Amino acid sequence: MPKIVSSGKCRLCGQLVGKAQMATHFKKCFKRSATEPVLGDKAPRCFHIVVGATYDPAYWLHLELPATVTFGRLDQVLRDLWLECCGHLSTFRFPRKQVRPSAPMAFAQIFKQFRTGGYMDEPDDGEQIMDERLGKRLQSGMKFDYEYDFGSTTNLSLRVMADYVSLQSKPKIRLLARNEPPDIPCARCGKPATQLCVECEGTPLCDACVSEHECGEEMLMPLLNSPRAGVCGYCGPSVEP
């Protein structure tokens, strides 16, 4: 099977760059696009975060987020760009911190700890995390996950590519790049597909073949540039991507 080469347009300079080269491209592009540099203790801190669809590498985003932004705000950004359809629940999942128990444990707990060779997991509070600022938890190189909709779940994988002092005096959330729409062929004729049949497990179809498809128009959903395409009631981003 031929390897799919994914690319996206840098929102800072307009250049079309391959997925594998995009992170390196931004190291230079950040400096070229900087205005009003701020130095000293008041210099704002930012994160460069790459977001990818866990089970479909053709879909990805590069985001710049100030460290003062909360995880709840990041959640809303992901919903607005890629996911929101019916107000489903969502959560972030982080690498668990292994902690020593602070109180006597039951024998079953002690045996489990001995068998696994580790310590008890420290539980995370989902609502508390949404109110937490990115700068409190994230650091360069850190990986974490995100889930939207616990029924028809869309899984995302996130990685902090860089933790740096912003070259902007008042940094804002920025979409730095996103993948170009994947070239998905029609299952009947091979032309570029525009719609998905949810009855046929997301079969892609072009406009010409839709009228001949036996499942009917009520089973069709638009083929959108999102890992949520064809799932639940997703009909497109709520903000301009």
Q: 138-160 pLDDT, tens per residue?
A: 999 999 999 999 999 999 999 99
Nearest alpha-carbon partner for 78 in 233, 198, 206, 239: 239
Predicted TM-score (pTM) of the model is 0.82
C-beta of residue 83 within 8 angstroms of C-beta of residue 100:
no
Q: For the ranges 120-134, 190-204, 213-227, which has the lowest average pLDDT?
A: 120-134
Residues 44 and 130 in one domain: yes
Residues 24 and 48 in one domain: yes
1 part of a folded domain: no
Residue 140 belongs to domain spanning:
7-178
Residues 136 and 61 in one domain: yes
Nearest alpha-carbon partner for 221 in 234, 237, 207, 208: 234
Residues 72 and 103 in one domain: yes
155, 178, 201 - which closes a domain: 178
Residues 103 and 150 in one domain: yes
User: Three-class SS of residue 38?
Assistant: coil
Q: For the ranges 106-120, 121-135, 184-198, which has the lowest average pLDDT?
A: 106-120
pLDDT recorded at residue 117: 39
Nearest alpha-carbon partner for 75 in 179, 156, 152: 156
231 part of a folded domain: no
Q: Which secondary structure element, helix H or strand E, spans residue 209, and what is its range?
A: helix 207-210
Q: For the ranges 34-38, 116-120, 176-180, 199-203, which has the lowest average pLDDT?
A: 116-120
- In the predicted model, what is the mean pLDDT of residues 184-198? 92
pLDDT at 47 over 50: yes
E-strand stretches of the chain:
7-9, 16-18, 45-53, 60-66, 90-93, 98-99, 120-121, 143-148, 154-165, 174-178, 195-197, 203-205, 220-222
